[in-house]
Amino acid sequence: MRLLLIEDDVSLHTTLQRSLVRSGMRVDVCADGGHALQRWVAMQPDVVVLDLTLPGVDGLDILVQARAARLDTPVLILTARSTVGDRIVGLNAGADDYLAKPFDLDELEARVRALHRRHRASAHENRDDSLQWGQLRYDRDSGAVYHQHQVLDLAPRELTLLRILMEKAGHAVSKERLFELVFPGEKQVHLEAIEVVVYRLRKKLADKGVQLVTLRGLGYLLKAAS
């Protein structure tokens, strides 16, 4: 499991990281609210543990921005703000669970794993042999993308890029993550090469009922054409 811990208390995030890594998780730490959303998009974690009181940008603002960008990662809020009103505000902003400080490490781990299980079960229930987004349909068996029953003429990298974006349709995918998947292991290729693939794919989608949108600082996403 990949977990992103957004917490500025050095002592606390060091302890949590050590404990959760021992439990078999990969844990990345971000201590600055101003960089948290970019780290979230780049890492694509399975669960986010989010403190509310952060330097740079408040945790609630980060959560609101993440949900607005269609990042559906399960979020456990971790905070000293323990009143009922604070919990309601956090849950209404898009959090999936809430744990007040001080807390038990075993309870934190149990809640994180429960969020991960529920999210995976939901994703599995919604999985189909094809992906539909707007007028596009990706057939998992053939690996082809169709527009109104016609196969789109796409280069291999364009097809890979479109498939990734369709699987995350409506969600931002970072340039770095796309580069890793479209140019796997090609160390001689520069990161900017993904922009060329995006440009070519965008032209081919111009009249297909979807838009390939650039979100500065976050990456790229597909949305229905307006």
pLDDT tens digits, one per residue of 142-152: 788 999 888 99
Q: How many helices (H) and strands (E) does the chain have?
A: 8, 11
Based on the domain organization, do 115 and 194 belong to the same domain? no
**Residues 106 and 68 both lie in one domain:** yes
Domain closes at, from 90, 125, 160: 125
pLDDT, greater one: 75 or 80: 75
What was the pLDDT predicted at 167? 84
Q: Are 134 and 213 in contact (CB under 8 A)?
A: no
The whole-angstrom separation of Cα 49 and Cα 108 is: 9
The Cα-based distances of 151 to 40, 99, 159 in angstroms read: 34, 49, 11
Phi, psi torsion values for 213, nearest 5 degrees? -105, 140
Give me the CATH number covering residue 111.
3.40.50.2300
Last residue of a domain, one of 125, 148, 168: 125
pLDDT digits (tens, 9 = 90+) for 46-77: 999 999 889 888 899 999 988 887 788 999 99
Does residue 71 share a domain with residue 134? no
What pLDDT is attached to residue 67?
87
What length is written for the chain? Answer: 226
Q: Do the beta carbons of residue 1 and residue 24 sit within 8 Å?
A: yes
The one-character DSSP state at 52 is S
pLDDT value of position 93: 85
**Mean pLDDT (whole number) for 193-203:** 95
pLDDT digits 0-9 by tens, 94-129: 899 999 888 999 999 999 999 999 988 776 665 555
- Statement to judge: residues 137 and 50 lie in one domain: no
Q: Are residues 168 and 88 in the same domain?
A: no
Peptide bond into 102 cis (omega under 30): yes
Last residue of a domain, one of 82, 97, 125: 125
Q: What is the pLDDT of residues 159-171, one digit of tens each?
A: 999 999 988 877 8
Instruction: Indicate the number of domains in the chain.
Output: 2
Q: What is the pLDDT of residues 82-92, one digit of tens each?
A: 666 667 777 88
Are 14 and 108 found together in one domain? yes
Task: Report pLDDT for 80.
Answer: 78
Position 37 pLDDT exceeds 70: yes
Residue with tokens 């403190």: 51
Q: Look at 25 and 93; give whichever has higher pLDDT.
A: 25
Domain that holds residue 108: 2-125
pLDDT, residue 49, reads: 97
pLDDT band at residue 200, thresholds of 50, 70 and 90? Answer: very high
Q: Based on the domain organization, do 216 and 165 belong to the same domain?
A: yes
Q: CB neighbours (10 Å) of residue 211?
A: 15
Q: What is the CB neighbour count within 10 angstroms for residue 71?
A: 22
Q: Which residues contact 152 (CB under 8 A, 6 or more apart)?
A: 136, 144, 145, 146, 159, 162, 204, 208
Largest CA distance in the chain: 58
